[in-house]
Amino acid sequence: MSTLRKNWDRLRGAWHRDQLPVLTPEEGYNRWAASYGENMNPVQVLEAEALDRLLPDLSGQKVLDLGCGKGRVSRLALDRGAAATTGVDVSEAMLKAAAAAVPSASARWLKAGARRLPFRDASFGVVVCALMMGHVKDLDVALSEVARVLRPGGVLMLSDFHPYAALRGWQRAFTDAASGRAFAIENHPHLFEDYIRCFNALDIVLEALEEPSHEGFPVVFVLRARKER
C-alpha cells in the first residue's frame, strides 16, 4: 500500500467523526428527489460546464446515463443527437422524476445498481457516470461493469467530487424537505490512482481530465476515457 493511500485512509477516518446522520444512496435520493436540482450550487455548475466541454460527439449514439438522477445527462444527450438513452438509478423517486422531466420515446429508465448492470456486453457507445461513483465502495467492480457494457472504442465520461474536497470535510448532504432535517449520503471518495489502476486493468485509456476549482481549491473532477478496440 502506498504512503499516499495510508495517509488518505487515516485522514478519511478522521473526517467521518461528528457527521450528519448517513443514509444509503437509495434512501437518501428517495428523500432528496422532491427538491433535488432546484438551485444548482457553484460545484454543480462547475461540473456541468466541464462535462459539457469534454463530451464527445453523441450523434446516433446509444448512451447509458448511470446514476441518472432526474435525467440531466439523458436530456443533454438527446439534445446532442443521441439515438437513445437509458437512465439507471437506485432511487425510484429519482427515476419517476426523470421520466416526467424527459418525456421522450428515445429515453428509458431502469432501477439498478452499478455493481450489476442488466445489459448485454458492448451495449453502449457512451457511458456517463455523473457525480455518482463515489457512492460505490467497490470501484473496481463498478468500473468492470461499465467496461463490460461499453463497446470497444466507446467513451466513458465520469465526474465526481474531488478527493481534496473530502479531505476538507465536505459531505454529500441535503435537507429533507419533509422533515427539515439534514442528512449526508454514504460516500466513498476514490483517489485518481484508484481510477488509473482500474482503467489500466480494463484497457481504458484516459483522454482528458479537468479539475475545476472553487474558492481556491479543486472541488470536482471530470474525465473522458476510451475503451481500447
Query: pLDDT for 15-43, tens place per residue?
Result: 443 478 999 999 999 999 999 987 778 88
Considering the entire predicted model, what is its pTM?
A: 0.91
Please give the residue range of the domain that contains residue 222: 3-227
Would you say residue 60 has pLDDT above 50? yes
92-101 and 25-32 helices, crossing angle to 10°: 40
pLDDT of residue 15: 41
pLDDT of residue 2: 55
115-149 burial, b for 16+ CB within 10 Å, e for fewer? eebebeeebbbbbbbbbbbbbbeebeebbebbbeb
Are 29 and 95 in contact by the 8 Å Cβ rule? The answer is no
Query: pLDDT for 176-195, tens place per residue?
Result: 988 999 999 999 989 999 99
pLDDT of residue 146: 98
Calculate ∠ Cα 16-172-194, nearest 5°. 75
Query: pLDDT for 89-116, tens place per residue?
Result: 999 999 999 999 999 999 999 999 999 9
pLDDT of residue 6: 55
The domain tally of the chain equals: 1
pLDDT of residue 56: 97
pLDDT of residue 17: 39
- For the segment 32-58, the average pLDDT, to the nearest whole number, is 91
pLDDT of residue 3: 56
Summary mean pLDDT of the chain: 91
What percent of the chain is modeled with pLDDT above 90?
79
Q: Which of 180, 196, 157, 137 is nearest to 76 (CA)?
A: 157
**CATH number reported for the structural domain that contains residue 7 in this entry:** 3.40.50.150
